[in-house]
C-alpha cells in the first residue's frame, strides 16, 4: 500500500501540463508560495551586480538607493499585473499573447523571449558554476555542468518542486543576506556614504531604469508560476503577493550591491562572487556563502529554463495546432533549451559572455511593447473575457495573425531605438539625455496608448465572458461540430 501511495505521490509531484489549460481539479497552492518564490528569485548574486551598476556607472549611494526603489515599484507593478492573470486564465503567460497577436503572430515576441531567457540562464550558470566549482574543488566547467544537471532535474519535475525550492531558497537567502549585511556594515561608516549626496538626473534615471528593467524582464513568464492557483484566488491578493516578494527581494539585493560597490570601489566589478565570499572570514562560513550563491541561482535559473521551455512549446504548438504536449516532447524541449544555455555558458565564460549579455539586455526593448499590449488588452479591452479554446485554433476567433497587435508592437520597438543605451547599441538621442536610457518608459507608454485606441473598436468581438475548455457551452459546440 505504501508503494502505491508513493507512486501516486510521484505522479502528483511530477508535472505533466505544459501549454494546456489547468482544470479546477488540478488547482492547488496558496499566495504565500508566490511571495517566497519571487523573494528567492531576487535574493541572488545577479541582482547584487545589477544594483552595484548604479554606483559603478557614476551615481552616489543615497540617490541610487532611492532611484532603485522607485524602479522596483514601477517594474514590480508591471510584472505582478501579468502574474495576476495566472489563476484566472490557468495558462502559461505567452499563450495569452495569441489574443493580441494571433495564433501565429504571437511567435514574433515569443522567439525573442526564448533567446533572452536562454541568455539569462547562460550568464547565471557561469556565476553559479563558479560557486559550485569552489564548493566541490573542481574546474569551473565541471561546476557549470553539475549546476545544469540540477536545473534539468528541477525543470523536469516542474511546478511543485520549483515552488518548493523557492520556499527553501527564500530562507537560505534571508539568512545569507542578514550575515552579509552584518559583515559589510562592521567597521564601515555607512552614514558617511549616505551623507555624500550629489543628485544628477541622469544617474537617478539610470538607477530607476536598472531596477524597473530587472522587474519587467520577469513579465513573459510570471503567470507560468501562478496558473495552478485556484480560480477563486483574488487577483488583487495575487498581485500583492508577487509584487512584494519581487520588490523586497530585489531591493535588498541591490542595496547590498550599492554598498558593496561604494566600499570596494574598483575591486568589486568582475570579482563579485569572491567579494561576497570574502565576507566570510573562516573556511566554513565561506563554504556556506558559496552554497548560498549557488542555491540562490538555482531558483532564478530554473525559472528561466522553465519559462523558455514554455515559450518554445508555445511557438511550435501554434503551427502544429497542438493543445498539449506529450511527456517525451516536454523532456526534449527541456534538454534542448537548457543544453543550449549550458553550451553558451561553457563557451563564453572566458570570452564573449559579457558581450552576449549586452545583446540580451538589448532584447528587453523587444518585449517591453509586448508587456504594454498584453496588459492593456487584458485589463482595459477584453477585461479577461478570453476564449481559451480558441487560443489553440488558427481558424478560430483570434485568427492566425492580428495585424493591429503586430503593427503596434513594431511601432513600440522602433520608437525605443533612439533612447537605448547599451554596450550592444546606443541610440542617437542618448547623448542629449546625458547618457540616460529611457527606452523602457517609451516602450511601455507609446504601445499602451496606440493599442488602446486601435483595439477598443474591436472590443465587441470579445466573448461576453471567459470561455474555458470545461464550459458546458464549449462542450455543446464541439458536439455540434
- Domains of the chain, CATH where assigned: 36-355 (1.10.4160.10)
Instruction: Please report which confidence band the pLDDT of residue 437 belongs to, taking 50, 70 and 90 as the band edges.
Output: confident
Instruction: Please report which confidence band the pLDDT of residue 354 belongs to, taking 50, 70 and 90 as the band edges.
Output: low
How far is Cα 384 from Cα 465, in angstroms, rounded to an integer? Answer: 8
Each residue's pLDDT tens digit, 364-390: 788 899 999 999 999 999 988 999 999
Answer whether residue 353 shows pLDDT above 50. Answer: no
pLDDT, residue 10, reads: 39
Q: 573562516: which residue's cell?
A: 282
pLDDT, residue 147, reads: 94
Answer whether residue 405 shows pLDDT above 90. Answer: yes
Answer whether residue 278 shows pLDDT above 70. Answer: yes
Instruction: Please report which confidence band the pLDDT of residue 193 belongs to, taking 50, 70 and 90 as the band edges.
Output: confident
Q: 1 or 117: which carries more pLDDT confidence? A: 117
Q: What are the residues whose beta carbons fall under 8 Å from the beta carbon of 187, sequence distance 6 or more?
A: none
pLDDT, residue 271, reads: 67
How far is Cα 200 from Cα 184, in angstroms, rounded to an integer? Answer: 27
Q: 13 or 126: which carries more pLDDT confidence? A: 126
Instruction: Please report which confidence band the pLDDT of residue 471 belongs to, taking 50, 70 and 90 as the band edges.
Output: low
pLDDT, residue 481, reads: 43
pLDDT, residue 474, reads: 47
Instruction: Please report which confidence band the pLDDT of residue 2 belongs to, taking 50, 70 and 90 as the band edges.
Output: very low
Instruction: Please report which confidence band the pLDDT of residue 255 belongs to, taking 50, 70 and 90 as the band edges.
Output: very high
Q: Rounded to 5, what percent of the chain is helix, strand, coil?
A: 75, 0, 25
How far is Cα 15 from Cα 26, in angstroms, rounded to an integer? Answer: 11
Each residue's pLDDT tens digit, 331-347: 888 899 899 999 988 88
Q: What are the residues whose beta carbons fall under 8 Å from the beta carbon of 206, sequence distance 6 or more?
A: 53, 54, 57, 58, 59, 67, 435, 436, 437
Q: 12 or 273: which carries more pLDDT confidence? A: 273
Q: Which of 90, 370, 379, 448 is nearest to 236 (CA)?
A: 379
pLDDT, residue 361, reads: 65
Q: What are the residues whose beta carbons fall under 8 Å from the beta carbon of 341, sequence distance 6 or more?
A: 118, 119, 121, 122, 125, 148, 304, 305, 308
pLDDT, residue 280, reads: 67
Q: 8 or 248: which carries more pLDDT confidence? A: 248
Are 365 and 441 spatial neighbours (Cβ–Cβ below 8 Å)?
Answer: no
Helix, strand or coil, per DSSP, at residue 421: strand
How far is Cα 121 from Cα 37, in angstroms, rounded to an integer? Answer: 17
Are 308 and 112 spatial neighbours (Cβ–Cβ below 8 Å)?
Answer: no
Q: Indicate if the alpha-carbon torsion angle 171, 173, 175, 178 is positive or negative.
A: negative
Answer whether residue 103 shows pLDDT above 50. Answer: yes
Output the average pLDDT for the chain.
86
Instruction: Please report which confidence band the pLDDT of residue 7 belongs to, taking 50, 70 and 90 as the band edges.
Output: very low
Question: 162 to each of 154, 366, 390, how far by Cα in Å?
Answer: 7, 27, 29
Percentage of residues in the chain having pLDDT higher than 90: 47
Each residue's pLDDT tens digit, 29-55: 999 999 999 999 999 988 988 898 898
Amino acid at each position: 500500500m505504501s508503494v502505491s501511495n508513493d507512486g501516486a505521490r510521484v505522479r502528483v509531484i511530477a508535472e505533466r501540463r505544459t501549454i494546456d489549460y489547468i482544470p479546477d481539479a488540478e488547482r492547488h497552492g496558496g499566495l504565500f508560495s508566490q511571495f517566497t518564490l519571487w523573494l528567492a528569485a531576487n535574493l541572488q548574486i545577479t541582482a547584487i551586480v545589477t544594483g552595484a551598476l548604479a554606483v559603478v556607472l557614476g551615481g552616489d549611494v543615497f540617490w541610487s538607493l532611492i532611484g532603485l526603489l522607485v524602479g522596483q515599484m514601477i517594474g514590480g507593478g508591471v510584472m505582478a499585473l501579468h502574474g495576476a492573470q495566472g489563476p484566472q486564465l490557468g495558462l502559461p503567460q505567452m499563450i495569452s499573447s495569441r489574443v493580441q497577436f494571433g495564433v501565429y503572430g504571437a511567435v514574433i515576441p515569443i522567439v525573442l523571449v526564448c533567446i533572452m531567457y536562454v541568455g539569462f540562464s547562460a550568464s547565471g550558470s557561469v556565476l553559479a558554476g563558479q560557486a559550485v566549482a569552489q564548493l566541490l574543488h573542481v574546474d569551473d566547467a565541471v561546476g557549470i555542468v553539475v549546476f545544469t544537471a540540477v536545473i534539468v532535474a528541477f525543470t523536469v519535475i516542474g511546478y511543485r518542486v520549483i515552488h518548493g525550492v523557492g520556499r527553501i531558497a527564500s530562507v537560505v537567502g534571508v539568512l545569507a543576506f542578514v550575515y552579509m549585511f552584518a559583515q559589510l556594515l562592521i567597521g564601515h561608516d555607512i552614514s558617511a556614504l549616505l551623507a555624500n549626496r550629489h543628485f544628477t538626473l541622469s544617474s537617478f534615471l539610470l538607477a530607476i531604469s536598472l531596477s524597473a528593467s530587472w522587474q519587467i524582464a520577469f513579465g513573459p513568464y510570471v503567470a507560468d508560476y501562478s496558473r495552478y492557483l485556484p480560480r477563486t484566488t483574488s487577483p488583487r491578493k495575487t498581485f500583492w503577493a508577487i509584487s512584494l516578494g519581487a520588490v523586497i527581494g530585489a531591493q535588498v539585493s541591490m542595496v547590498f550591491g550599492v554598498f558593496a560597490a561604494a566600499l570596494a570601489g574598483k575591486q568589486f566589478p568582475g570579482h563579485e562572487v569572491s567579494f561576497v565570499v570574502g565576507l566570510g572570514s573562516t573556511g566554513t562560513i565561506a563554504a556556506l556563502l558559496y552554497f548560498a550563491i549557488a542555491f540562490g541561482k538555482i531558483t532564478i535559473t530554473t525559472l528561466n529554463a522553465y519559462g523558455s521551455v514554455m515559450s518554445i512549446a508555445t511557438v511550435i504548438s501554434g503551427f502544429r495546432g497542438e493543445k498539449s504536449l506529450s511527456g517525451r516532447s516536454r523532456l526534449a524541449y527541456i534538454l534542448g533549451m537548457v543544453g543550449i544555455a549550458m553550451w553558451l555558458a561553457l563557451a563564453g565564460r572566458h570570452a564573449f559572455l559579457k558581450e552576449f549579455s549586452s545583446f540580451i539586455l538589448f532584447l528587453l526593448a523587444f518585449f517591453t511593447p509586448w508587456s504594454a499590449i498584453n496588459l492593456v488588452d487584458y485589463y482595459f479591452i477584453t477585461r479577461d473575457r478570453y476564449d481559451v479554446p480558441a487560443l489553440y485554433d488558427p481558424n478560430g476567433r483570434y485568427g492566425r495573425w492580428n495585424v493591429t497587435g503586430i503593427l503596434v508592437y513594431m511601432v513600440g520597438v522602433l520608437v525605443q531605438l533612439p533612447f537605448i543605451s547599451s554596450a550592444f547599441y546606443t541610440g542617437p538621442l542618448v547623448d542629449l539625455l546625458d547618457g540616460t536610457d529611457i527606452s523602457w518608459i517609451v516602450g511601455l507608454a507609446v504601445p499602451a496608448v496606440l493599442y488602446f485606441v486601435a483595439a477598443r473598436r474591436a472590443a465587441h468581438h470579445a466573448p461576453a465572458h471567459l470561455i474555458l475548455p470545461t464550459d458546458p457551452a464549449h462542450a455543446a459546440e464541439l458536439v455540434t461540430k
